[in-house]
Structure 1
């Protein structure tokens, strides 16, 4: 049984891309965990599983390293856009389905991908809340991009992402857990951001997180759209409309292609 995949990265957020029709072995939570284990599998921040609806519209399903599924993945959708473009299967309207709803993509002349991410929401209203974490009160803004985000302003985002990220992700305030973004404004249209991703941990970039952070910065922090978000793996440009429609622009690239070994396939069959 051959299980082929392609390894891609978007600003260092690295994923396996698999075509559901090419995999005779269905992906399950346990199998996703094993495949994404860096010691016993291929390793990665996620698996992007491509399937197609009856009308031919492509769908992206996102598997996390802990076996859970994410509703959407901003870096992942840029990867899938280029993957489909290279295979000659990107729809003319650029429409791709995700667990968080449909998005529209356009590949630009420089191979960056522009993604209409849909409308952001403030589930608890356009205001900051206070959360008790490790004995201290932490202010955050809750933003949904089809998946949940908690945005926290901090003068040194890198210093707290691992210390506070896990506790905030799993706090009872977020029954489905949450992604956590620590941000610092660098100017009227710039943010530095570090991220703790739900079900993954610290990563070099998070596209939906950058969108959520830009939305909070524009609506609650007075920044001007478009916002350049500086992540550990590179920069994204996020445009936030008055109606909270969000457009993300950034790069992605393929790293290599391969197939799971017969030994790993046998191990997966037993899970």
Structure 2
């Protein structure tokens, strides 16, 4: 017996997601959801993605809801790039008024302004009100008296940075040479820093040479690894860079997958492109964990 799941693959500045509708397909499935989601996101044996998003119809003024899973199958609170990808599919399904989408996430309600191609009626970019940044340790959450000037030493490399909360935790490190930053080597260790009870995303950030109000960023995402882009990470990085006098209230964040715009105020607004890659249908039963006989060779 098969359990079909219809998926829409999209990316926002290279940060790619599988978006499906509705979530009940897998919540009523008799397999292991976490293992199945990790299998779907696996780039070698699955469809491949940085995360998977369930889109459901909203209520109480929300057009839809967003349930986000990282590539390891675990839940995550929020993704600025992911919510823009969700907005693409929601718009195609006729949710919202064509100009704005209201989305309930695990980090709270978010409003998304839609930039729709007038010829194709396809979403090409979106700007999200990401809510406020917090530097309050208990809200990040962070087990430390302050979120500022945190020191971490790993294999002789000393990092100093600030923690920030964007509905999920971030550790933003200002570095001299971004290309030389050992993101994949040190990222896993920093993600599991014991001061972050829920683990943390880690941003390596440097000012963009010759460009005021711009920063370059690489990111190690919690539960995923290094990715081409991270929306909440760009917001956290811009907020920390602003606090340190590196950028003003409007910043461009250059990531390996493209450019994001961040506007700082009482809340933070994140803007960037959205690209549809393909639609597909998979059988969830193909992603059940397989038992291997002890005598199997």
When normalised by structure 2's length, the TM-score is 0.83
* Bigger-Rg structure (1/2): 2
Indicate the residue corresponding to 2:245 in structure 1: 221
Stretches of structure 2 lacking an aligned partner (at least 5 in a row):
118-123, 138-145, 292-297
Distance, in Å, in 2 between the alignment partners of 1:136 and 1:156 is 13
Distance, in Å, in 1 between the alignment partners of 2:287 and 2:77 is 28
Query: Any idea what the Cα deviations from partners look like across 1:66-85, whole Å, max 9, x if unmatched?
Result: 12111001111111112111
- Tell me the SS of whatever aligns to 2:105: coil
Give 1:154's match in structure 2, choosing from 172, 175, 188: 175
The question of 1:73 aligning with 2:79 is answered yes
Query: Any idea what the Cα deviations from partners look like across 1:145-191, whole Å, max 9, x if unmatched?
Result: 00000000112223321122111001112121100000111243000
Distance, in Å, in 2 between the alignment partners of 1:238 and 1:86 is 26
User: Do the aligned residues in 1 keep the contact of 2:215 with 2:251 (CA within 8 Å)?
Assistant: yes
Distance, in Å, in 1 between the alignment partners of 2:197 and 2:155 is 19
User: Do the aligned residues in 2 keep the contact of 1:17 with 1:48 (CA within 8 Å)?
Assistant: yes
Distance, in Å, in 2 between the alignment partners of 1:133 and 1:266 is 40
Indicate the residue corresponding to 2:21 in structure 1: 19
Distance, in Å, in 1 between the alignment partners of 2:90 and 2:241 is 33
Cα separation, partners in 2 of 1:267 and 1:94, compared to 1, 3 Å: closer
The question of 1:4 aligning with 2:6 is answered yes
Distance, in Å, in 2 between the alignment partners of 1:74 and 1:267 is 28
Which residues in structure 2 correspond to 1:155-194 (within 5 Å)? 155-159=176-180, 160-186=182-208, 187-194=211-218
User: Do the aligned residues in 2 keep the contact of 1:126 with 1:220 (CA within 8 Å)?
Assistant: no
- Tell me the SS of whatever aligns to 1:119: coil
- Tell me the SS of whatever aligns to 1:156: coil
With 46-55 and 164-173 compared, the bigger mean Cα shift is at: 46-55
Distance, in Å, in 2 between the alignment partners of 1:202 and 1:33 is 16
Cα separation, partners in 2 of 1:59 and 1:269, compared to 1, 3 Å: farther
User: Do the aligned residues in 2 keep the contact of 1:127 with 1:220 (CA within 8 Å)?
Assistant: no
User: Do the aligned residues in 2 keep the contact of 1:71 with 1:99 (CA within 8 Å)?
Assistant: yes
- Equivalenced residue count is 267
User: Do the aligned residues in 1 keep the contact of 2:95 with 2:101 (CA within 8 Å)?
Assistant: no
Cα separation, partners in 2 of 1:109 and 1:5, compared to 1, 3 Å: closer
The question of 1:117 aligning with 2:117 is answered no
User: Do the aligned residues in 2 keep the contact of 1:105 with 1:115 (CA within 8 Å)?
Assistant: yes
Indicate the residue corresponding to 2:33 in structure 1: 28
Structure 1 residue 130: Cα displacement: 1.2
Stretches of structure 1 lacking an aligned partner (at least 5 in a row):
none
Which residues in structure 2 correspond to 1:25-104 (within 5 Å)? 25-26=28-29, 28-55=33-60, 57-90=63-96, 94-104=101-111
- Tell me the SS of whatever aligns to 1:205: coil
Cα separation, partners in 2 of 1:154 and 1:21, compared to 1, 3 Å: closer
Query: Any idea what the Cα deviations from partners look like across 1:41-78, whole Å, max 9, x if unmatched?
Result: 21111101112344463111111111211100111111
Cα separation, partners in 2 of 1:154 and 1:222, compared to 1, 3 Å: closer
